[in-house]
């Protein structure tokens, strides 16, 4: 079921990196979510084989199931409150089941079912101070239920399937990420809500469109984007101290939204080569952890002053050499030139041709941790000090679909597409 890693492997080398503590195996189907049990050597997982499993560490150092509970439908998401030992499990049929785990973690007591959605529940959160159950699903709805009575307070319909959910306990703000790449911001009050704003930032990266949805998109872009879902927001994380919202997307990027600043400021973090599937924020060390399909864990320093990426300038000619781009037929005819492709400098945003924008450089202050295209003048202006990285990346040896961080013990749980859960000691990298 699980494997304990040889302690000798932990002492080899002086490189600061996550240390693998345990691998938990044995699930016959896809694991959708898994979370660490606080103050216990235990893990709770839900999977497509309709089971909820509670794994406890045994004297042998291995993790074995103490509970294997069969649900009525595929278990899609889970949330656990350690103070009350209340467990909430979202299912593929739209139902949320509430359980209480006994003190010895060997038995589940069923408390209530919430008929919350008409299709798969994608995220469920329990807030003890509000006595509320928050959920979202593929039926495009966000739902708010009372956990004391089971009564539904209200619901919000998004424009696309809702995929993830986060909230701020003090201000009662709720953030809902959807399939179209937007984040809806709601403020809950009494038994209703106020719609605040929609955050638009993630876009179709493989077409090289600018991540600025305030501009009019190309014809058919919205339909194409919904069809392939490459701008879909898969995960959210919230920093209550600085009031920053982090969103990870299928477009391979992470966007940092400065909610508390109320100025519409947003920063991009570009370091992954595949879909960002998991986010975890460490409040004590001010670091953000991001997990991706590329098997890489990114650790971002969020205590530095970052810069917004510039808007991409629209132009029909190269802004340096005045060569026409391939759609500028009038200038192509007058200059007797063949049109060329348009590129953009990631540092200044100018529209340039390939000859004037052929250099590559990292721009860590703007979130570009790998080399991106910059113009010749910006390449000369970027100093070696400005190229110093503000993030580290580590190979986790499996595609990450979900992450959970126990910040107190600095242990990270990663769930992979290989149906394996891995526990990592993060004490060397979270500092």
User: Tens place of pLDDT for every residue, the chain, 431 residues?
Assistant: 455 444 444 444 446 899 999 999 989 999 999 999 999 999 999 999 999 999 999 999 999 999 999 999 999 999 999 999 999 999 999 999 999 999 999 999 999 999 999 999 999 999 999 999 999 999 999 999 999 999 999 999 999 999 999 999 999 999 999 999 999 999 999 889 999 999 987 754 333 333 333 333 443 444 444 444 568 999 999 999 999 999 999 999 999 999 988 888 899 999 999 999 999 999 999 999 999 999 999 999 999 989 988 888 888 888 888 888 888 788 778 878 888 888 999 999 999 998 889 899 999 999 999 999 999 999 999 999 999 999 999 999 999 999 999 999 999 999 999 999 999 999 999 98
Please report the pLDDT score of residue 203 as a whole number: 54
Q: How far apart are CA 431 and CA 425, in angstroms?
A: 12
Give the DSSP H/E element, type plus range, for residue 225: helix 221-228
Q: Identify the burial level of 364 via C-beta atoms within 10 angstroms of its C-beta, where 0-12 means exposed, 13-18 middle and 19 or more buried.
A: buried
Nearest residue to 356 (alpha-carbon basis) of 319, 396, 405: 319
- Residue count (the chain): 431
| Cα→Cα distances 400→43, 235, 291, 338, Å | 17, 12, 6, 46
Please report the pLDDT score of residue 398 as a whole number: 95
From the options 3.30.1330.60, 3.40.50.2300, 3.30.40.10, 3.40.50.300, give the CATH code of 329-387. 3.30.40.10
Q: How far apart are CA 68 and CA 47, in angstroms?
A: 11
Q: How far apart are CA 34 and CA 45, in angstroms?
A: 4
Q: How far apart are CA 289 and CA 421, in angstroms?
A: 17
Please report the pLDDT score of residue 212 as a whole number: 34
Question: Which runs of consecutive H residues, i.e. helices, occur in 81-146?
Answer: none
C-alpha radius of gyration, the chain, whole number? 23
Cβ atoms of 251 and 203 closer than 8 Å: yes
Q: Residue 387: phi, psi to the nearest 5?
A: -90, -5
| Structure-block tokens of residue 225 | 């984007």
Q: How far apart are CA 183 and CA 176, in angstroms?
A: 5
State the pTM of this model.
Answer: 0.87
The domain limits of the chain are: 2-306+391-425, 329-387
Distance of CA 341 to the CA centre of its chain: 33
Q: How far apart are CA 276 and CA 282, in angstroms?
A: 18
Give the three-state DSSP class for 25. coil
From the options 3.90.1330.10, 2.130.10.10, 3.30.950.10, 1.20.120.790, give the CATH code of 2-306+391-425. 2.130.10.10
């Amino acid at each position: 079921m699980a494997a304990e890693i040889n302690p000798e492997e932990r002492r080899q080398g002086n490189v600061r990196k996550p240390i693998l503590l345990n691998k938990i195996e044995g699930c016959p189907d896809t694991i959708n979510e898994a979370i660490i049990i606080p103050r216990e050597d235990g893990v709770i997982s839900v999977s497509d084989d309709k089971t909820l499993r509670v794994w406890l560490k045994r004297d042998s150092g291995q993790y074995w199931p103490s509970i294997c509970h069969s649900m009525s439908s595929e278990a899609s998401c889970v949330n656990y409150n350690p103070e009350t030992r209340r467990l909430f499990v979202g299912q593929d049929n739209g139902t949320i089941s509430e359980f209480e785990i006994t003190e010895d973690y060997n038995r589940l007591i069923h408390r209530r079912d919430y008929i919350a959605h008409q299709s798969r529940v994608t995220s469920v959160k329990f807030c003890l101070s509000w006595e509320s159950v928050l959920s979202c699903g593929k039926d495009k709805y966000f739902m708010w239920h009372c956990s004391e009575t089971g009564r539904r307070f209200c619901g919000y319909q998004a424009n696309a399937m809702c995929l993830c959910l986060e909230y701020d306990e003090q201000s009662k703000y709720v953030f809902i990420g959807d399939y179209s790449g937007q984040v809806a911001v709601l403020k809950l009050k009494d038994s209703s809500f106020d719609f605040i704003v929609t955050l638009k930032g993630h876009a179709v990266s493989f077409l090289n469109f600018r991540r600025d949805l305030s501009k009019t998109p190309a014809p058919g872009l919205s339909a194409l984007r919904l069809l392939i879902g490459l701008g879909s927001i898969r995960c959210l994380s919230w920093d209550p101290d600085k009031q920053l919202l982090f969103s990870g997307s299928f477009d391979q990027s992470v966007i940092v939204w400065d909610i508390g600043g109320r100025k519409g400021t947003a920063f991009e973090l570009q370091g992954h080569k595949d879909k960002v599937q998991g986010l975890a924020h460490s409040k004590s060390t001010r670091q953000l952890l991001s997990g991706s399909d590329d098997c890489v864990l990114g650790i971002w320093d969020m205590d530095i002053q970052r810069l917004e990426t510039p808007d991409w300038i629209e132009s029909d000619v190269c802004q340096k050499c005045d060569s026409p781009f391939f759609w500028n037929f009038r200038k192509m005819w007058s200059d007797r030139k063949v049109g060329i492709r348009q590129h953009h400098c990631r540092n200044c945003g100018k529209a340039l041709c390939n000859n004037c924008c052929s250099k590559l450089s990292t721009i860590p202050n703007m979130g570009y941790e790998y080399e991106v295209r910059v113009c010749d003048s910006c390449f000369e202006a970027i100093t070696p000090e400005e190229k110093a990285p503000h993030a580290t990346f580590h190979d986790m040896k499996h595609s990450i679909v979900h992450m959970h961080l126990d910040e107190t013990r600095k242990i990270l749980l990663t769930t992979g597409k290989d149906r394996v859960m891995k526990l990592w000691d993060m004490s060397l990298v979270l500092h």
